[in-house]
Amino acid sequence: MATVAPGRMAAVNEMTRLLRLLFEVEREFLRTVTTLVYRVGEPELKYLICQHAWESAGHARFLRERGRELAGFGTGENVRASLRRIFVEAVGSTAADPLVLLAGFYTVLKPTLLAAYRHYLKVTDHLADWPSKKLVEEFIADEERHLREIAPCLKGVDARAWSLHLTQALGDLGGWLGQEPRLPLAAGYLWQQDQSPYRHPATCNRGQYPVCSSVFGFDPTEDPIVRPWLTDPTTDARVIRLLVYVWLMMEMDAIDYLATVFIDTPDAPFDLHHDLARHLWDESRHSQFGFRQLPKLGVDLMTVEHSLDLYNILVRMPPHERYAMMTMEFEAGSFPTKAHVMDRVRELSDFEADTLLAFDRNDEQNHVRYGHRWLPEMMALCGETRPTEEFVRATQEKFKQFAATYGGKTPHSLPREKRLTGEKILALARLH
């Protein structure tokens, strides 16, 4: 049998090495940037981070697929420790200003990734490596757009010290691809992750918006979503539409607690994180349905309190229990009520509302499928050995106990006279 001469595949091997590094960087960006979702306050910024996380998941997926077409990419998906350490450092401490941390990701880590992609184009052959070249060109356009989209959110943020700290860590690598001269760290450089390991904040940030424990209840003078009204056949369809838009906007709860799962599952298969990223982006879009539609129906968003209970309860449970409650309880259990709501809203001949609810329904069905696919693997990662059904039942009971302890602790930010309630929704519905 003929042997392969040394160096015969050197050109392919070198490009494969760079693709592998780019895959690992995109993958670890996804796992860590999501820690900002529940720490920043403004909904529009949360939505944007969720979108960028999903697009990074797509980059990583296509890099992996292309890399596996080339020799030497490998079948494993682990991120090397030298890269992971920098991203974990960028997560910062629980007490850090989230906008400063955002600046670290978007003025240091992302521009360095953009430089790495540009380097790849510079050193590869435009024809021989055409498939990789076309992917990288698209990713460069995405990265440039990401930087433009986030820039307005960073105006006035002084992150010079933190950015220098991360720049020094990256300098020790010589850039993500090692394409720059290395600048070894000073002997006195302190890794913050060693001094103050990251912990999830006990509650999530909702910025300028008023908050409460829950928007669901039974008293029209207190709560915006009056539970019996959702399924009562005598409820005006216009009221149902407003109720479901408030419900959709409050899927921001799901954005915040789902985003905590990525950092807590460092050894998960990439495909698990990929589907979690899609799930996160879907929930972000659903929340935007309500966020954008409610003002059109006369609702002042500053009168809509944001519910914090689900985050406050679930963040105290391990990641596989959070995910079990989300997919096997909250989402799976919502289908009958949402089906009734969809039928009632159709009475209004509101094509936009019908479209938004139909896509919400379709997405939620996919999320439950994700749960059936990934919950057993997440359980295994967390050392859970009980059968899935038994585990889910036990988790449901544990949630009830935690709800009694940690739920209902967030007082209303607004007095009843100022906040949106069921009674005010009745009045608004008559106008639309």
Tell me how far apart the alpha carbons of residues 245 and 354 are, in angstroms, rounded to a whole number: 12
- Residue 45, classified by CB atoms within 10 Å of its CB into exposed (0-12), middle (13-18) or buried (19+), is buried
pLDDT at 13: 87
DSSP three-state, residue 71: coil
pLDDT at 44: 97
Element (H, E) at 307: strand 306-307
Tell me how far apart the alpha carbons of residues 208 and 230 are, in angstroms, rounded to a whole number: 29
pLDDT averaged over consecutive 10-residue blocks of the chain (432 residues)? 56 91 97 98 97 98 94 90 97 95 98 97 91 96 98 96 97 94 93 94 96 96 96 96 96 97 96 97 96 96 97 97 96 90 95 94 93 97 96 97 96 96 95 83
Phi-psi label, residue 92: left if phi above 0, alpha if psi -120 to 50, beta otherwise: left
Stated pTM of the model: 0.94
Tell me how far apart the alpha carbons of residues 144 and 372 are, in angstroms, rounded to a whole number: 36
Q: Which CATH class is domain 12-195?
A: mainly alpha
Let me know the angle formed at the C-alpha of 51 by 46 and 54, rounded to the nearest 5 degrees.
Answer: 125
pLDDT at 4: 42
At position 283, the amino acid (one-letter code) is E
pLDDT at 12: 84
Per-residue CA distances from 395 to 91, 261, 321 (Å) = 29, 16, 6
Of residues 337, 334, 317, 320, the one with CA closest to residue 384: 320
Phi, psi of 236 (to 5 degrees): -60, 135
pLDDT at 10: 80
DSSP three-state, residue 125: coil
Quick check: 128 and 11 in contact, CB under 8 A?
yes
Phi, psi of 217 (to 5 degrees): -170, -160
pLDDT at 6: 54
